[in-house]
Chain A
């Protein structure tokens, strides 16, 4: 399922970056698009604002078909305090902007992507295009949460893929 998680992240990150190139974060001194996967980063005590944080929840497997169908639930958490220029009084608008970006990225056609194995990148090899595609369902937005001076939300989306033969 790791290939599914990696491919979904890459796809979503690239779409969000194309929609709003100004949404960036600096992680370990590197400026990058404002989307991250929590399990791939160092543990932090404070959630990074103004970026999309992906976390993977329990998976379900339907093994009845020729290839097992895996369903992964992806939580996408984000929060914002608005801008200092407006003393945070635009935090509602900033959260709505993030809602809009996420909705546009996930609703953009096609709602699928060719699964890719990125494991080789760590060893200087190219990513490998796999034989099947993953796809995802409509995004569901959770309620707005007030965290001190920030507004936060968790959106969830089910990501489905077929586990290919020999796939980890």
Chain B
């Protein structure tokens, strides 16, 4: 007799979210393997997964419809069939960051590039200051820009790192597609406006390392190419009514008090709500503004048996 030990229902305080990019052109998602990585250190997710922090109000909903197939007189159900497969997820992010803002917004998330002096006003940021080209030797965490250019940046400043826009259409943005261009634009900085390849400067090199900008965390696109340039970012902006849909590979982890884990993996999640926040009471009479997001799961093919599925739920015992 096969004896599987029964355990109590997992008692979970919070759920943590992780992001991985999708190749939008090929619709290739990042697949998480719970058999190999299910017990990963929550603070150090396996590459290319990126920690989005704790989330609240995590709610999964299945919209799958199961219809009976009846025959005979009187009609009797002999079979069942799934006539529709649908699944959605809603959540609130506990922290704000570029990725959280972009995913919660669901549309392209603009970087507010530092504007040139005298630039005409624009809702998502005026004409940007000329970007700084990278010189050789840059890595995912250290940008080499030369000593003169480095003096124009400051510790704590956010920078966007990506190539010039040269009239391309389709998905754009290094590492993660940040927008879809339907018809050619004229803004040379447009890709740096929408890129998710951003970082915050932790230190600026001096002495023998002069000219380097060390980032707090690696760029999402990895080692930058020589064609990429660096722009200073004043903040972020998203717009209700934009046409682009963010899509990401998602992993949610709930850790039970017996060290068991429930992992919910959605290889393809696409935004299905507009831009809204949820204000919740905080201490001292203040309100905490949480980013709300709602997403619909899109299908992938499970390599194991070729089944078309939209999400995976795994239970990993301690």
Q: List the interface of chain A (C-beta within 8 A of B).
A: 60, 62, 64-66, 69, 71, 135-138, 158-160
The contact size tier of chain B is 10 to 19
Q: Do B94 and A66 have beta carbons less than 8 Å apart?
A: yes
Which residues of chain B (64-106) have a CB below 8 Å from chain A? 94-95
Q: What B residues does A69 contact at CB under 8 A?
A: 282-283
Digitize B46-59: 1 where CB-to-A-CB distance is under 8 Å, 0 elsewhere. Answer: 00000001101000
Q: What A residues does B53 contact at CB under 8 A?
A: 65-66
B241 near A: Cβ within 8 Å?
A: no
B118 near A: Cβ within 8 Å?
A: no
**Interface residue from B56, B283, B284 paired with A64 (Cβ < 8 Å):** B56
B14 near A: Cβ within 8 Å?
A: yes
B152 near A: Cβ within 8 Å?
A: no
Main secondary structure of the interface of B (DSSP, over half): mixed
Q: Do B94 and A158 have beta carbons less than 8 Å apart?
A: no
**Interface residue from A60, A64, A71 paired with B54 (Cβ < 8 Å):** A64
The 8 closest A-B pairs by CB, nearest first: A137-B284, A158-B284, A71-B283, A66-B95, A65-B94, A66-B53, A137-B285, A160-B284
Main secondary structure of the interface of A (DSSP, over half): strand
B286 near A: Cβ within 8 Å?
A: yes
Residue of A nearest to B290 (CB): A65
Given contacts A136-B284, A137-B286, A159-B284, 12 further A-B contacts (CB under 8 A): A64-B94, A65-B54, A65-B95, A66-B95, A69-B283, A135-B284, A135-B286, A137-B285, A138-B284, A158-B283, A158-B284, A158-B285
Residue of A nearest to B284 (CB): A137
What's the nearest-Cβ distance from chain A to residue B286, in Å? 7
Q: What A residues does B282 contact at CB under 8 A?
A: 69, 160
Q: Do B283 and A160 have beta carbons less than 8 Å apart?
A: yes
Q: What A residues does B56 contact at CB under 8 A?
A: 64
Bound-state Cα–Cα, A137 to B282, Å = 11
Q: What A residues does B283 contact at CB under 8 A?
A: 60, 62, 69, 71, 137, 158, 160
Which residues of chain B (10-36) have a CB below 8 Å from chain A? 14
Residue of A nearest to B285 (CB): A137
Q: What B residues does A137 contact at CB under 8 A?
A: 283-286
Most A-side CB within 10 Å, residue of B54, B94, B283:
B283
Bound-state Cα–Cα, A159 to B95, Å = 20
What's the nearest-Cβ distance from chain B to residue A20, in Å? 26
Bound-state Cα–Cα, A138 to B284, Å = 8
Residue of B nearest to A62 (CB): B283
Interchain Cβ contacts under 8 Å between A and B, 30 examples: A60-B283, A62-B283, A64-B54, A64-B56, A64-B94, A65-B53, A65-B54, A65-B94, A66-B53, A66-B54, A66-B94, A66-B95, A69-B282, A69-B283, A71-B283, A71-B284, A135-B284, A136-B284, A137-B284, A137-B285, A137-B286, A138-B284, A138-B285, A158-B283, A158-B284, A158-B285, A159-B284, A160-B282, A160-B284, A160-B286
Q: What A residues does B54 contact at CB under 8 A?
A: 64-66
Which residues of chain B (270-318) have a CB below 8 Å from chain A? 282-286
What's the nearest-Cβ distance from chain A to residue B158, in Å? 14
Bound-state Cα–Cα, A138 to B282, Å = 13
Bound-state Cα–Cα, A62 to B85, Å = 39
Bound-state Cα–Cα, A160 to B14, Å = 22
Q: What A residues does B286 contact at CB under 8 A?
A: 135, 137, 160
Bound-state Cα–Cα, A158 to B286, Å = 11
Bound-state Cα–Cα, A139 to B284, Å = 10
Q: What B residues does A160 contact at CB under 8 A?
A: 282-284, 286
Bound-state Cα–Cα, A52 to B145, Å = 53
What's the nearest-Cβ distance from chain A to residue B131, in Å? 27
What's the nearest-Cβ distance from chain B to residue A58, in Å? 13
Residue of A nearest to B51 (CB): A66
Bound-state Cα–Cα, A136 to B282, Å = 12
Bound-state Cα–Cα, A60 to B284, Å = 11
What's the nearest-Cβ distance from chain A to residue B269, in Å? 21
Q: Do A64 and B14 have beta carbons less than 8 Å apart?
A: yes
